[in-house]
Amino acid sequence: MESTAGEYFGARVREYDALIRACVPRYDEMLERLVAYLPAGAERILELGTGTGNLALAVAGRFPAAQLMLVDAAPEMLAVAGERLPQAEPIVARFEALELPAASFDLVTSAISLHHVEDKAALYRTLYGCLRPGGALVFADQLLGRTADLHGLNWEAWLAHCRLPGHCTEEQTQSFLDHAEAHDHYTPLEEHFELLRAAGFVELDCVWRNWIWGIVHARRPS
Ligand SMILES: C[S@@+](CC[C@H](N)C(=O)[O-])C[C@H]1O[C@@H](n2cnc3c(N)ncnc32)[C@H](O)[C@@H]1O
């Protein structure tokens, strides 16, 4: 097992786009919905965990004149995203080590990436600080169910989806489970809200949900 989540994804860059759709139910719908909830008028946008650029492409489609900064720990992933989005600024970095200019982004977006960060309180303070007043943080991610039973149901639904004919091999599914054990830090929705509120965010909502996946909306007050 690779020692960081970035190394895990970097090693799978060629198969990533097919694999993510095979293992995340309604992946494209989730990205489309996230983009639909982005407030209008963004000029400067930060994306965390760009991967091959699937969300960033949709965001660029909605805000064609905006400056995009794309952050990912895996240089292999950012190389693919960079080819698809040559106008964007790629930054190879871990989220935990990011130093961002204060009050300089209108939007922060992310998909299926923030659960790799253990200290979300610190991350949310950093993201709040880099947003302009009125700016929004909108991210899709894997959430911990409110109870062990609810989480178990979500988890089994995910594994059943992976094991559908033509989706993932048993070896791939096992590698997701090993990856989750080694690198994932799931947080319940309620705790996300508490941490976001403590960082100063308002207008907290979960605007879409499907099994373990959800989209969270938060805003820095104007
Ligand atoms: C599951 S992929 C999601 C990619 C893309 N957002 C999508 O929706 O397809 C997670 C991405 O986050 C990156 N990543 C994971 N942990 C990270 C960290 N701590 N710092 C920076 N990037 C990280 C990985 O390299 C990977 O490209």
Name the residue ranges covered by the structural domains of the chain: 5-219
pLDDT at position 1: 62
- Beta partners for residue 89, in sequence order: 69
CA dihedral 133, 129, 191, 40 (to 10 degrees): 40
Residue whose Cα lies nearest atom 1 of ligand 1: it is 112
49 lines ligand 1 (CB under 6 A): yes
107-147 pLDDT, tens digit each: 999 999 999 999 999 999 999 999 999 999 999 999 999 99
Domain 5-219 sits in CATH 1.10.580.10? no
191-215 pLDDT, tens digit each: 999 999 999 999 999 999 999 999 9
Identity at 126, one-letter amino acid code: T
215 lines ligand 1 (CB under 6 A): no
19 lines ligand 1 (CB under 6 A): no
44-91 pLDDT, tens digit each: 999 999 999 999 999 999 999 999 999 999 999 999 999 999 999 999
pLDDT at residue 168 tops 90: yes
Give phi and psi for 34, each to the nearest 5. Answer: -60, -45
Residue whose Cα lies nearest atom 5 of ligand 1: it is 51
pLDDT at position 9: 86
172-194 pLDDT, tens digit each: 999 999 999 999 999 999 999 99
